[in-house]
Structure 1
């Protein structure tokens, strides 16, 4: 970074300490001083298309049955994708599989905590502004009891950190974030930016806020996941989204190398316009996938209802109850269905058999006669898109 850094509107390098301990950290300029962002026609069109898609999704969410279940799945998908960018190896099925229980891996724990952190953030936003205090509280949930739990969850760092290959020293780092004093000032400026820049296009604001948070790197661990969660929270804060019905990490994961390169390019050259263009393209593709998934899930619900009513006749009430259950829990066993629907074991078996005949439930291991697990395959097929670990 030090060899190709070009001082400009993005900030400058700061000298720290002296003698053998001397090093340089990056002091980012306040985002307010970098405005206006001069976007080309193509980027403006991408932003317009993105806003239209997000508005369409908002409208769809108001009329879709069981939208709360879909919302839960979208939050889980974003949690998985964002964690996979950091190297998590579990899949969407792992996140939903109730049989894992206490055997869950550390990777799965990261995803579960991300879901809890998102829900906590949405709750807090009903009572306080989008601020450093809120982000600290969310970070405490994100790292509670999982990897990074020893790195002061919920506390801003009190020492210098750096970014680079595993085992590299501060002098060998690819990027040295702001020193502690500058980090606090950067977060203070970011808080003002998030809440006071009312005239800035919200998608552009989310792009800039994400860049600035990642550059500040205010925690000892979990900065990437927190920064990507901030994208959704920023859009909610500006009224573009009422709920987290978007998984922005979908395209950022697919373009992970370019994503990291663009964050560094802004620090090195001040090319905010290029970063915003890249970010908007990624957000548009993520929104397209989320919108299309929502349509397919709604169509699946309708077609499944029709098939079940035709197949189960007078027993359709219980069949529709199971359909609702599956949209929140698409991997089930007989005992789970019996308990949740207050059915006998034989009744649950009979109901599951109806779903199998309708092609809605599939036995995971056909050779097993006991402790059988069933998956709502048509539903999972839609939601699994893009869930392969890197």
Structure 2
């Protein structure tokens, strides 16, 4: 790490500890500032993001059975957050693994499904617990257990130095060297106090500073980015700003990956917080609008299907709900959704196929099971960012 690139600011400074095992240059974060001066542009951006987030939160009260939307949104968030870290998987791969083909899933798909498990665990824990180091360690253990990175101490803060840079980088030429492990206890205690006691800070400013500091501390050997991004949604839920996890901010960060990393590094190197705040607020606004647009399309299509299904004396409505949660279907997944026997579930799937709701993908995998998919639903889930169009 080149100390000449780093200034001494309220956020931290370059430092070294001669004579210690970690005598190379590293970044020494300061406690999170309890107040930050923002320009009018940043205040306006935060206000627009708050309004968009409010609209998204309100949507959960206006639509029938909003819980059915959680699956697609969590999956998109898990996929995008994992892709930022280099995982290669498609939404279709992950969704098919979720309906029962996990034994055939690639290592990349398994990593995404572990993120999904960690996310669900985190949202369950935050219902009754504050966002503490203990909660984070439990979620981190779930995230890294049984996947690549399992050797990197799942559920434990790091006890050795790390650095960020290209493959083969050393502390001397790395882009960024986080604080050494002996500084983690004090830094994490300050971070935890900030998250749980600074209630006078606007929630989005709170989230932006929380995320920046967590990524800067870099408390784990692996999984810092995924845990750090998950914490944003956890904070919004804990602060009762978003009851349902419908905001997948990682999609925005993945789309703007270089700007995301540069904004975080700009705070460290130059003490410039405003570019990071502007990017964060724009991400919340854009993804809130996109989530609303996508939810409306999913709900409209769901209601169209349910109206048609109600005309039949069958368990087609239950299959529709399952299709919205995951547009890939097998006879086995249809059985789980409806409680029907295998022949009954197959007949129900064939009926949905006749109605044009499902298309066969043929047979593959263990036992040659036939797969179907709801193309119209999948198109909504996989489609490009739509919030800007919807908002205009």
Q: TM-score, normalised by structure 1?
A: 0.91
Select which of 330, 334, 352 maps to 1:333: 330
Q: Does 1:374 align with 2:375?
A: no
- Which whole-Å CA distance do the structure 2 matches of 1:146 and 1:80 have between them? 15
**For structure 1, which segment, 164-173 or 252-261, has the greater mean C-alpha deviation from structure 2 after superposition?**
164-173
* Contact 2:25–2:171 under 8 Å retained in 1: no
Match of 2:359 among 348, 358, 362: 362
For 2:176, the equivalent position in structure 1 comes to: 175
Residues 112-123 of structure 1: pairs in structure 2 closer than 5 A: 112-123=113-124
Deviates more, 1:351-360 or 1:289-298: 351-360
1:384 to 365, 378, 382: 382
Q: Work out the CA distance in 2 between the residues paired with 1:15 and 1:314.
A: 72
Cα distance, 1:86 vs. partner? 0.7
Aligned to 1:273: 274
Q: Which residue of 2 aligns with 1:350?
A: 347
SS of 2:179 mapped into structure 1: coil
Query: 3-state DSSP class of the match of 2:315?
Result: helix
Report if aligned partners of 1:249, 1:286 keep a CA contact under 8 Å in 2: no
Contact 1:37-1:273 within 8 A present in 2 as well: no
Q: What is aligned with 1:53?
A: 52
Residues 130 and 195, structure 1, Cα contact 8 Å, conserved in 2: yes
- Confirm or deny that 1:88 pairs with 2:87: yes
Q: Does the aligned pair in 2 maintain the 1:16–1:25 contact within 8 Å?
A: no
Q: Deviations over 1:181-233 (max 9, x none)?
A: 22221111111111111111101111111110000000000001011111111
**Matched residues in 1 for 2:147 and 2:62: separation?**
37
Taking the aligned partners of 1:335 and 1:214, their CA distance within structure 2 comes to: 41
Q: Structure 1 CA distance, aligned partners of 2:123 and 2:335?
A: 32
Q: Measure the CA separation in 1 of the matches of 2:327 and 2:358.
A: 9
Structure-2-length-normalised TM-score:
0.91
Secondary structure of the corresponding residue to residue 65 of structure 1: coil
CA contact (8 A) 1:232 1:244 kept: yes
Kindly indicate whether the alpha-carbon contact (under 8 Å) linking 1:66 and 1:324 is maintained by their aligned counterparts in 2.
no
User: Counterparts in 2 of 1:314-325, with a 5 A limit?
Assistant: 314-315=312-313, 317-325=314-322
Q: Secondary structure at 1:170's aligned position in 2?
A: coil
Distance (whole Å) between structure 1 residues aligned to residue 297 and residue 180 of structure 2: 48
Deviates more, 1:154-163 or 1:299-308: 299-308
RMSD between aligned residues: 2.2
Shift of 1:36: 2.9
Q: CA deviation at 1:242?
A: 1.8
Structure 2: tracts of 5 or more residues without a match: 386-392
Q: How far, CA to CA, are the matches of 1:123 and 1:160 in structure 2?
A: 32
| SS of residue paired to 1:160 | coil
The 2-side partners of 1:339 and 1:263 are apart by 44
Secondary structure of 2:13 counterpart: strand
In structure 2, what is the equivalent of residue 239 of structure 1? 240
Residues in 1 aligned to 2:164 and 2:102: alpha-carbon distance in whole angstroms? 34
